[in-house]
């Protein structure tokens, strides 16, 4: 089968959300609109879109589409822009409009040597920007779409997993030491997206771990229950079934399975570390999902023609996005209820905070703050060291002459001990817990 890659979001946002998402070249024109093509599309999958081509596509769409805008949200160490695309029904949504409505954020190519998600994101941006049908406008009127097309520009330029310093950005969403993770943190703080969809790739280990697309929700135990439920629903009832219906195989990220029975054999990845984006999303009250498309092993046809491999990878990403957009259209009310309730629950300041464990790995007694302090006090030196990171995370901080005080009673309640308690695996500093507020 020759997997074709040109996507038409018209198919995603129709009322029934059943029209085919993976369509052949020319679909955009057939749907009544046309826009710039990616380098991947122009080459029929023989090569990836270059960064100059990406900039040209985004700049043209920004000029020609009233509903789309590009913001530079950061710069890499090598001076490349980290960009955010905002797409709305009539005009680009503001941060305030996104915060008070339903929204999705696509994070593409955090790892620079995993390009297929970036290609799917670029064609999705283009098709949403140029769509002329009423169904797309109705969808965008109720759901703002945010996209970071290349979250790791230096890594993409070098075709490396890490950034120009060799740092894995997807392990930096707590410490925020990289320019790329800091840029994303600003978006999470300022826009508070309801759903965060993170596109990656992986190398398979046959026969136990070799599906075309793997997915995984936030496993961190601080993910609010309703948010966790929506995230697993996104994976298990929308993304994976849609990928399967499109002719691709799927599985759960990090879980080896018996090739005969399909039963789990062992877990090799996908734990509850809060510094990984899909878990950070859950801790920050967003419905998060990681998707990973298979790069290897290659079929004989893919060995003979690398474009066949590339098209399969991008095709499976597009199929996953089809399922994600169906989820956003059908469960909008449930998503908003889950994320809003989670943010308000932090103000009640009740319940345990987990310093370890996962939804499939119960926390030990030492990993549970059953009766957390009401806040943490930082002296002047400690606050000077981590104040910028607390602000980027969006935590509320009270200042006094001796330093600062961070209460747990705030929307990101569970994040406070994860950052400031010395028992937390990835704490920024060791602050003094206080029961006097």
Q: Nearest to residue 18, comparing CAs of 333, 332, 329?
A: 329
What is the rounded CA–CA span in Å between residue 136 and residue 305? 35
φ/ψ region of 361 (left if φ > 0, alpha if ψ in -120 to 50, else beta) reads beta
User: Under 8 Å CB-to-CB from 340, ≥6 apart: which residues?
Assistant: none
Q: Which among 54, 180, 292, 389 is annotated as catalytic?
A: 292
What's the residue count for the chain? 437
56 included as an active-site residue = no
Q: Which helix (H) or strand (E) holds 69?
A: strand 68-75
With contact defined as beta carbons under 8 Å apart, do 437 and 430 qualify? Answer: no
For the beta sheet containing 143-148, the strands, ordered from the edge strand earlier in sequence to the opposite edge, are: 68-75, 81-87, 143-148, 102-108, 195-203, 287-296, 213-216, 250-252
Q: Nearest to residue 202, comparing CAs of 245, 170, 179, 165?
A: 170
With contact defined as beta carbons under 8 Å apart, do 282 and 220 qualify? Answer: yes
User: Under 8 Å CB-to-CB from 318, ≥6 apart: which residues?
Assistant: 5, 7, 21, 22, 120, 123, 124
Q: Nearest to residue 240, comparing CAs of 259, 255, 222?
A: 255
What is the rounded CA–CA span in Å between residue 209 and residue 268? 10
Q: Nearest to residue 155, comparing CAs of 205, 192, 130, 118?
A: 118
What is the rounded CA–CA span in Å between residue 354 and residue 361? 12
Alpha helices in 297-350 (DSSP H): 300-304, 306-330, 332-348
With contact defined as beta carbons under 8 Å apart, do 407 and 381 qualify? Answer: no
- Residues labelled as active-site residues: 292
């Amino acid at each position: 089968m020759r997997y074709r890659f040109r996507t038409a979001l018209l198919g995603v946002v129709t009322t029934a959300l059943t029209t085919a998402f993976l369509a052949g070249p020319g679909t955009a024109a057939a749907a009544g609109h046309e826009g710039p093509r990616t380098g991947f599309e122009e080459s029929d999958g023989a090569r990836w879109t270059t960064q100059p081509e990406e900039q040209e596509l985004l700049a043209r769409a920004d000029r020609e589409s009233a509903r789309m805008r590009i913001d530079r949200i950061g710069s890499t160490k090598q001076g490349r822009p980290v960009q955010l695309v905002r797409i709305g029904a009539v005009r680009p949504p503001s941060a305030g409009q996104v915060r008070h409505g339903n929204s999705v954020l696509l994070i593409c190519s955090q790892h620079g040597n995993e390009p297929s998600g970036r290609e799917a994101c670029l064609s999705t941006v283009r098709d949403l920007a140029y769509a002329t049908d009423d169904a797309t406008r109705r969808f965008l009127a109720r759901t703002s779409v945010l996209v970071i097309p290349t979250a790791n520009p230096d890594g993409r330029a070098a075709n490396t997993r890490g950034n120009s310093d060799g740092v894995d950005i997807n392990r930096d969403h707590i410490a925020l030491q990289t320019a790329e993770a800091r840029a994303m943190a600003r978006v999470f703080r300022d826009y508070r997206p309801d759903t965060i969809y993170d596109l990656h790739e992986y190398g398979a280990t046959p026969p136990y771990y070799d599906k075309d697309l793997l997915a995984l929700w936030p496993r961190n135990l601080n993910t609010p229950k309703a948010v966790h439920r929506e995230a697993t629903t996104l994976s298990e009832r929308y993304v994976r079934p849609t990928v399967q219906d499109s002719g691709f195989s799927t599985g759960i990220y990090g879980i080896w399975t018996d090739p005969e029975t399909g039963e789990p054999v062992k877990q090799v990845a996908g734990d509850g570390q809060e510094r990984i984006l899909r878990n950070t999303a859950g801790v920050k009250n967003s419905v998060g999902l990681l998707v990973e498309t298979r790069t290897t092993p290659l079929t004989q046809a893919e060995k003979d023609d690398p474009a066949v491999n590339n098209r399969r990878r991008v095709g499976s990403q597009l199929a996953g996005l089809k399922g994600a957009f169906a989820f956003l259209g059908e469960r909008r009310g449930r998503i908003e209820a889950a994320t809003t309730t989670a943010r308000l629950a932090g103000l009640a300041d009740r319940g345990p905070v987990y310093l370890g464990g996962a939804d499939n790995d119960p926390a030990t007694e030492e990993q549970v703050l059953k009766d957390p302090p009401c806040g943490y006090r930082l002296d002047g030196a400690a606050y000077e060291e981590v104040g910028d990171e607390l602000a980027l995370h969006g935590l509320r901080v009270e200042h006094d002459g001796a330093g600062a005080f961070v209460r747990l009673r705030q929307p990101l309640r569970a994040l406070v001990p994860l950052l400031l308690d010395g028992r937390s695996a990835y704490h920024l500093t060791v602050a003094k817990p206080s029961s006097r507020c």
